[in-house]
Structure 1
Amino acid sequence: MVTGPLLEFAGVHFGYQPDRPVLTGVDLRVEAGRRLAVVGPNGGGKTTLFRLAAGSLTPSAGRIAVAGSRMRHTRAGLRTVRQQVQLVLQDPDDQLFSASVRQDVSFGPVNLGLPPEQVRQRCDQALTALGVTSVADRPTHLLSYGQRKRVAIAGAVAMRPRLLILDEPTAGLDPAGVEELLHTLDDLHATGTTVVLSTHDVDLAFRWADTVAVVSGGGVCAMPAGEALADPALLTAAHLLPAWAPLVHRLLDRVPGLAGKRPRCAADLAALLTAEPDRGT
């Protein structure tokens, strides 16, 4: 059992070129069971942060720990990390390469050296969790974009990680696809998987996350979602606008009978106002 943070960055620095740092002195803790949304401008370092967390990049300074153990960038060390942390990239075509969906989802468990029956079990459970069982035997290149996204996530889920990191998982999805994916993430969270995702949609981040990390200027600032996404100065520095919901909450607190109400999405607000036809417009 993890007693400390599931993932911890302490004074982490990284740059692709020595004189051009991307992240400088990053401190970040991801506690088990939390929902963390990472927001920030394009090119601000979100994907770099995720690649460091997954062991794909090595920091130039600082320490990264997974489940209390310092990350080691050796073959054995990274094998241990990837049994606990899985990263799913924004473009599913960067990860899908097998002839069929089932083969792709099975790839990770097979490389762990698991017995065939365990591989089949993990694959079947991951396909079911992501709702892609019906396309299990289909070539991945014949899938829709949304299906490919789900299959890429299923491949990560089949590894049964403690921490699942998703880089812009809702990008390119229609509204129905976003809702389906969020429902799936809720299910994964309920079964004990800690989920971290990046997004440009601050309203989605507020609705889904309990903690938000803003990546900007080489640093990372993490705080409760309601505080981070209602802080104009913090978000302006990251080229983002405040989420509407925290601002609406402040307005509702001024209306008799609606103080303390906390709608998290437009549907919640509509239902609240419909239920209170004689109050505060």
Structure 2
Amino acid sequence: MSEETDLARWREHLTRFAALLGNPPDRQAAPAPASRPGRCLVFSPHPDDECIVGALPLRLKQEAGWRVTNVAVTLGSNAARREARWAELLDACAVLGFECQRVGEHGLSDVRAEPIRAEQVQALAAVLEAHRPDLVLAPHALDDNPSHRGVHQLVVQAIAATRLDTVLALTEFWSTQARPNALVQTHIADTARLIAALERHTGEIARNPYHLRLPAFLADAVRRGGELVLGAGEAPPDFAFATLYRLVSYRAGQPAGDLPPRVFPADQALSSDLLQP
């Protein structure tokens, strides 16, 4: 099945799902005003995380011309599947329009929050030094998977080691985070693209069709984000799909404070200004 057919199929399904939620049709965002294109790195604990948390970088690439690179920190724990997972990952990133690289020849092994290995921190620091990104995505500290927690610690320590000025977007999947401050909508077409990319991880969805559940995950972020970002008791936004992040500003490698809480609807194009306090 072609990419165009995949996207059309998912757009049809998601339009029906959005109608059940009572949301109006999503509007396409107009291109953002010209500004300096930014640089984004997505540090993925496993192949597929780039799709699950990819709403913000996808929109920045499409609407603000950002260059996005997915960094495969590991290729999974099954050594026999690593080359296949790398091939699947390249296919998924091609759907999203992301560049892709792995840490080392086969990704890192045994990434855990404890103990943190100095050579692993150095490997991620080398990637940061090479790209000097404006925005970095990594799991939040308590995302309930050992590799996700390990990648969080590696990224934070690598940012410190490089004394980088950047914004860290903390992501969630295995458990929710306590203080998200950014709710990023994806319209029907972009949500379809994220799911179509996730379908490229064929070996993983063969054992667990979790790509079919991604729309529910994105819809639930709207339910929670309406109050967690806008404030308790506030009405949820009038759209179907979104992703939650916590945006933290870093200066000289150290956290300098959270960015203000904001909702980013799909009918307002993103620009590099979203990283400003």
Structure 1 length-normalised TM: 0.32
Higher CA-based Rg: 1
